[in-house]
């Protein structure tokens, strides 16, 4: 996602990020804003036996539905940075947490979650806990 400060700079202040977001379906429109999460696919369940599309799109929708979340992760070790060293940090994103985190959300009940005053904040809180640091590579190489 884009932090609020950067977004408030307007379209001109986004640089290449705006173009990349548009090309990768991570933006509704400039007025509606960026998607922080674009989670789509198909599902079946005990009550939905036909293959059904689902869409979970998350963004911030003004001050009334603010889904910005700041996540701070512990690296578990030091990441060494110098002119000669660039660490590589491996993150794991548990996509299951989007629907099955602190809040349990059922696609059978609602298969499209975008601008929902009830469900969007639940998805935002779930996604805030989906990231962990797997490990850190410290070394002289600049790529992995």
CB 82 within 8 A of CB 109: no
Asked, for residue 88, whether it belongs to a domain, the answer is yes
What is the model's pLDDT at position 96? Answer: 96
Asked, for residue 127, whether it belongs to a domain, the answer is yes
Q: Which residues of the chain have pLDDT under 70?
A: 1-3, 30-32, 61-65, 140-144
Asked, for residue 7, whether it belongs to a domain, the answer is no
Asked, for residue 16, whether it belongs to a domain, the answer is no
Asked, for residue 91, whether it belongs to a domain, the answer is yes
pTM, to two decimals: 0.78
Asked, for residue 117, whether it belongs to a domain, the answer is yes
Domain that holds residue 80: 65-137
Asked, for residue 13, whether it belongs to a domain, the answer is no
Q: Smallest Cα–Cα separation from 91: which of 83, 79, 104?
A: 79
What is the model's pLDDT at position 18? Answer: 81
Provide the CB-side half-sphere exposure for 80 (13 A, CA).
8
Structural domain count of the chain: 1
Asked, for residue 51, whether it belongs to a domain, the answer is no
Cβ of 111: how many Cβ atoms within 10 Å? Answer: 16
**What tens digit of pLDDT does each residue of 45-64 get?**
999 999 999 999 987 765 56
């Amino acid at each position: 996602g884009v932090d609020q400060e950067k977004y408030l700079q307007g379209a001109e202040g986004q640089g290449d990020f705006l173009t990349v977001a548009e090309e990768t379906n991570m933006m509704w429109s400039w007025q509606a804003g960026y998607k922080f999460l674009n989670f789509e696919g198909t599902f079946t369940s005990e009550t939905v036996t036909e293959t059904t599309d689902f869409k979970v799109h998350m963004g911030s929708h003004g001050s009334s539905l603010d889904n910005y979340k700041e996540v701070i992760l512990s690296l578990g070790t030091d990441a060494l940075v110098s002119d000669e060293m660039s660490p590589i940090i491996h993150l794991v994103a548990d996509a299951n947490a989007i629907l099955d985190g602190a809040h349990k959300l059922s696609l059978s009940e609602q298969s499209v979650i975008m601008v929902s005053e009830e469900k969007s904040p639940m998805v935002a809180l779930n996604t805030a806990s989906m990231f962990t640091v797997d490990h850190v590579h410290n070394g002289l190489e600049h790529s992995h």
